[in-house]
A and B are shown apart, each in its own frame.
Chain A
Amino acid sequence: MENQKKRQAAYMKRSLLDQGYLDEQFIHLEELQDDANPNFVEEVVKLYYTDSARYVRNIELALENGPYDFARLDNMMYQFKGSSSSIGARRVKRQCSQFQEYCNAKNIEGCRNIFQEVKQEYDTLKTKLETYFQTDRHEKDARKRYSQRAEDPLRVCLGRELWKDSFTDVESKHQIRCEQAHHHDLPSSS
Chain B
Amino acid sequence: MEMAQELHVLAVDDSHVDRKVIERLLKISCCKVTAVESGTRALQYLGLDGEKSSMGIDGLKVNLILTDYSMPGMTGYELLKKIKESSVLSKIPVVIMSSEKILPRIDRCLEEGAEEFLLKPVKLSDVKRLRDFILRGEGDDNKETEKNIKQVCSRKRKFLDDSTTQSMLSAVVTVHDIESSSPESSASSESQQPLSKQSKIG
Q: Which residues of A are at the interface with B, using a C-beta cutoff of 8 A?
A: 25, 28-29, 31-32, 34, 37, 40, 43-44, 47-48, 51-52, 78-79, 81-83, 85-88
Contacts and interface: CB of A to CB of B under 8 A. Distances in A.
B24 A40 contact: yes
Contacts of B17: 44, 47-48, 51-52, 83, 86-87
Interface of B: 14-18, 20-21, 24-25, 28, 70, 99, 120-121, 123-124, 157, 159-161, 164
A151 B142 CA distance: 44
Contacts of B18: 82-83, 86
A99 to B, nearest CB: 15
Contacts, number: 54
Contacts of A37: 24
Given A83-B15, A87-B17, A32 B164 contact: no
Contacts of A40: 24
Contact of B121 (A28, A47, A48, A52): A28
Nearest to B100: A78
A54 to B, nearest CB: 11
Contact of A28 (B14, B157, B164): B164
B120 A32 contact: no
B5 to A, nearest CB: 20
A32 B121 CA distance: 14
Contacts of A44: 17, 20-21
B167 to A, nearest CB: 9
A62 to B, nearest CB: 16
A133 to B, nearest CB: 16
B160 A85 contact: no
Given A31-B160, A47-B16, 15 more contacts: A29-B21, A34-B157, A34-B159, A37-B24, A40-B24, A48-B17, A51-B17, A79-B14, A79-B15, A82-B70, A83-B17, A83-B18, A85-B121, A86-B17, A86-B21
A87 B25 CA distance: 14
A37 B16 CA distance: 18
Contacts of B25: 32
Nearest to B21: A86
